Amino acid sequence: MTEVSPPPLTTREADALVAIDVKAMQAAGRTDEARERFSELVGRHQRRAVRIAFHYLRDAADADEAVQDAFVKSYLHLGTFREDLPFEVWFTRILINGCLDRLKARRRRERWMAPTPVDAMGNERDPAEYLPSRGPSPEDQLLSGERRAQLDAALARLPERQRLIFMLSHFDGRSSREVSAMTGLNESTVRVHLFRAIRRLRSLLHPGAAPVRSKQRANR
């Protein structure tokens, strides 16, 4: 009699099995084995995590560091992970919160620690003198930086669930069905949270704009 092979595990199921094994190894003090097993999760989610972190930080080195920090934190706090929630969603929350913390720290450094150029006599120089002649003008660079800072600040003000769904949908390219499977929410709830997130972002970025109405209301 021919044996039927079991269906392949989904990513969520595979992640849960790894998490269970790692937690058991950590509890038994088998730290080397635990780190080796956890590396499967790193390999499976690292590329996507870097993409999300870069959307927030706009710097490759900062994004790499944020991702590594998020993996370390998730490894150390894996005992708080519940298998009924996808590891991908749990880890993404840790990653996004870490990126927001980095943005806050970056803004503090830029505000208080930016050096002032001086000439050989110790007099302050015009920073524009040190900018390259090619590429965007200083005004363009400033405007681009301000817009990015405004978007980051607006994202930080979204409720956690709205921010997560917006990130998965717009920055990670997930469909409503995929986000539903990842978060455990039904598709209609995902779409409602996404609509509210977009409406909130628009109101924060363009306070004077007309409010966005849902299609259902618009068609009444």
**Three-state SS sequence of 172-189:** CCCCHHHHHHHHCCCHHH
Rg (alpha carbons) of the chain, rounded to whole number: 22
Answer whether residue 38 shows pLDDT above 90: yes
Look at domain 138-215 and name its CATH class: mainly alpha
pLDDT confidence band for 177 (50 / 70 / 90)? confident
Average pLDDT, the chain: 79
Per the structure block, which two tokens stand in for 1?
A: 């009699």
Q: Which residue has the higher pLDDT, 141 or 201?
A: 201
pLDDT confidence band for 76 (50 / 70 / 90)? very high
Do domains 10-113 and 138-215 share one topology? The answer is: no
Q: Which residue has the higher pLDDT, 108 or 122?
A: 108
Give pLDDT, residue 24: 95
Give pLDDT, residue 209: 54
Closest by Cα among 40, 26, 42 to 95: 42
Domain limits, the chain: 10-113, 138-215
Look at domain 10-113 and name its CATH class: mainly alpha
